Chains A and B, each alone.
Chain A
Amino acid sequence: MALTDAEIGALQEQAWQLRHDIIDVTVWAGGAHIGGALSMLDILVLLYFNYLNIDADRPEMADRDRVVVSKGHGGVGIAPVLARRGYFDFDTLKSFNQFGSPFGMHLDASKVTGVDTSTGSLGHGLPMAVGLALGARAQKKTWKTYCILGDGECNEGAVWEAAMSASHFGLTNLVTFVDRNGYMIDGATEEVMSLEPFSDKWRAFGFHVLEVDGHDFAALAEAIDVSLSGEKGLCVIIAHTKKGRGIDYMEGNVKWHYGSIDSTLAEKARASVDRMYGKA
């Protein structure tokens, strides 16, 4: 369903708040995978505030939609989203990374309410998402499974084992995103291990490929709708994103895959986010 201007405005407001939140949590945590958290944030915002059939008061609701964030290092992005969606108090994130905290850089589903799957080691999410989608179908349930992959993660063979099986089983109740921010720890994806022709690879595995701007809510929503409609069969949404999106000194800079920020850098980051949202 196409988003209205009002809906897009509300999502932008939410994304602005959450970019500030991610900066705060990165400071509290003493460092985080902030670049990749910011690149996938708009996908998370759209899912959690517009698409998902979930109830923060009933986190274990049997028929809830499931989300598998396969790029589990994006924990610093997911946790604030869950807090703002009502799963827990935002202030609890002050303990992030601290001794005995429920929150570590890769979120543990047994400790963080609202997280459906524990992820972190790359290449594990899509197989689990395939299992969730198959499980829903086997039980004749209509809930959907959403999986967010990192692009660098697509070097892992298990991603393609899962892609092959998603296609073989015809899982149109699965919506797969790739956060195509172009970077992995050691550099640009095309320098470390070429992914291109990336969309052709997905097509060869039986996916209908939707390439969109991963920071454009309207375009993302349109792609999700196509995926959910089943009209094009099994879909993958390759979301072209910017690593560190919103923080000018981080954008497209591989150095910010993981980083720490002091109060000065945090202030610069907040100012940059405000400028992007026209709030400066």
Chain B
Amino acid sequence: MSEVTGTTWTVYDANSMTQAEIYGHVLCEIGEERADVVGLTADLAKSTKIGIFGEKFPERFFNVGIAEQNLFGVAAGMALSGLTPFVSTMAAFASMRACEQVRTDICYQNLNCKIIATHGGISFGTAGSTHNAQEDVAIMRSFPNMTVIIPADGIETANAVRACVDWDGPVYIRVGRGFEPTWYDTEAYGFQIGRAVTVSEGTDITLICCGVTVLQAAEAARVLKEEDGLSVRVLNLHTIKPLDEAAVMKAVLETRRIITFEEHNIYGGMGSAVADVIAASGTGCAFEKVGLPDAFSLVGYPEDLYAHYKLDTNGMIEKVREVMGRDFEEDEDWEDEV
């Protein structure tokens, strides 16, 4: 494990550790401090890295075998007994195989279960659609009481996992398969659940991102400034629910052009949540949702898939140029439109 010890916490070298590995180690630290934290998985201790916790705290770690419905039911029971379960399996299985257990056992009873779902989106692209989760955000954010977070990288995963321990109620944290590049180099950037982080300031257009698209957008903003002279704002909207509506509206009012980029079906994910806020505000802006089309993903390595679906830097640059050329009413005078 590659790490340096900071004054307040351990700073993980996110370049050499996957999001999931960092999660495993952070959970071990939390386990040291909190006797009520237990870990559960369904035969994915190694793949999800919760096994790192299991090796350190075998008496507080439970592998229920390949039985995801039971996994979440058991987690609900453990939460009811006074424990704080961290449950890890692949995002596809947490959100779909065990959908009703998450909704009825955990969310309905508003239990302190923390779901760390790995292999989100198309990050396990070679596995194909059985193992992809293009739908999980739409599913999870429709459950009352559920908090939904998609960290940008390993550092943010560490922050999100720490923050969710004392966050009341169920939390769904979606991470990738593992080898995504990292954006943050320190954990001290003021991470708060429900509060978007401004990655770069800008006044011409805002790219609202979560998960792997944050880093790509930051790079796109740099290139667009250099090549096009554009001032591009990048918002890391890591918490999809509760949504930071103020940050979204600030971006709408200050830049009037918005593109959302997410590793999820364009229906029902972060982009849809943002669209809801904008539509309800009655404020006009140029708006585009970029994500996975409403079709099952192609097979491939994630980086190739991200490029194909325009979720990489080049795709983003293309989309920004397209939206910048779009005509729309920028003034505040609505009289002529009624």
Contact = CB atoms under 8 A, between A and B. Distances in A.
Interface of A: 62, 66, 68, 108-110, 116-118, 120-121, 123-124, 126-136, 138-139, 141, 145, 157-158, 161-162, 164-165, 168-169
24 contacts: A117-B76, A118-B109, A121-B100, A124-B104, A127-B70, A127-B77, A128-B77, A128-B105, A130-B70, A130-B73, A132-B81, A133-B77, A134-B78, A135-B38, A135-B79, A135-B81, A135-B83, A138-B83, A139-B82, A157-B69, A158-B101, A161-B69, A162-B73, A168-B65
The DSSP consensus for interface residues of chain B is helix
B65 A165 contact: yes
Nearest to A120: B104
B78 A135 contact: yes
Nearest to A121: B104
B64 interface: yes
Contacts of A109: 109
A128 B65 contact: no
B73 A128 contact: yes
Given A62-B82, A118-B109, A161-B70, A128 B62 contact: no
Contact of B109 (A66, A117, A135, A164): A117
A135 B77 contact: yes
Contact of B77 (A120, A132, A158, A164): A132
Given A127-B76, A158-B69, 10 more contacts: A116-B80, A118-B109, A121-B104, A124-B73, A134-B81, A138-B81, A145-B77, A158-B67, A161-B67, A164-B65
A131 B77 contact: yes
Contacts, number: 108
A131 B73 contact: yes
A131 B67 contact: no
A127 B74 contact: yes
A144 B69 CA distance: 23
- The 5 A-B residue pairs with the shortest CB-CB distance, nearest first, are A131-B77, A127-B73, A135-B81, A161-B70, A161-B67
Contacts of A145: 77
A244 to B, nearest CB: 28
A44 B14 CA distance: 54
B78 A132 contact: yes
A41 B110 CA distance: 29
A129 B77 CA distance: 6
Contacts of A126: 73
